[in-house]
Amino acid sequence: MSEHDNSWISIADVMSALMMIFMFIAVAFLYQIISQKQIYRVQLNQALHEEFNKDLPDWKAMITEDNIIRFDSPFEVGSDVVPDGFKKILDDFFPRYIKVLTLSEFKKEIEEIRVEGHTSNGWGSADEKYSYLYNMELSQKRTSNVLSYCYSLEDGSVYQNIKWLQSNLRAIGMSFSNLLYKDSAKTMQDGDRSRRVEFKVVTKEHFE
Average pLDDT over residues 61-83: 95
Closest CA to 107 of 119, 99, 115, 96: 99
Average pLDDT over residues 123-138: 79
Q: What mean pLDDT, rounded, does the chain reach?
A: 86
> Going along 119-195, which residue ranges are E strands?
169-173
Distances in Å between the alpha carbon of 93 and those of 71, 78, 159, 164? Answer: 11, 25, 15, 18
Average pLDDT over residues 74-92: 95
Domain assignment present for residue 4? The answer is no
Q: Which residues pair with 197 in a beta bridge?
A: 71, 117
**In the predicted structure, residue 142 carries a pLDDT above the cut 80:** yes
Q: Please give the pLDDT value at position 148.
A: 96
Q: Please give the pLDDT value at position 101.
A: 97
Domain assignment present for residue 64? The answer is yes
Q: Please give the pLDDT value at position 61.
A: 97
Domain assignment present for residue 11? The answer is no
Domain assignment present for residue 28? The answer is no
Bigger pLDDT: 102 vs 190: 102
Task: Count how many domains the chain has.
Answer: 1
> Going along 61-131, which residue ranges are E strands?
61-63, 69-72, 110-118
Average pLDDT over residues 113-127: 80
Average pLDDT over residues 112-130: 81
Q: Please give the pLDDT value at position 94.
A: 97
Average pLDDT over residues 141-164: 94
Domain containing 166 — which CATH number?
3.30.1330.60
Closest CA to 86 of 117, 114, 109: 117
Domain assignment present for residue 90? The answer is yes
Note down the domain range covering 64: 40-203
Q: How far is C-alpha 36 from the chain's CA centre? A: 17
Domain assignment present for residue 23? The answer is no
Q: Please give the pLDDT value at position 208.
A: 59
Q: Please give the pLDDT value at position 162.
A: 94
The per-residue pLDDT for range 50-59, each reduced to its tens digit, is: 999 999 999 9
Domain assignment present for residue 10? The answer is no
Domain assignment present for residue 79? The answer is yes
Q: Please give the pLDDT value at position 128.
A: 74
Bigger pLDDT: 37 vs 12: 37
pTM summary value: 0.80
Taking the alpha carbons at both ends of the chain, their separation in whole angstroms is 52
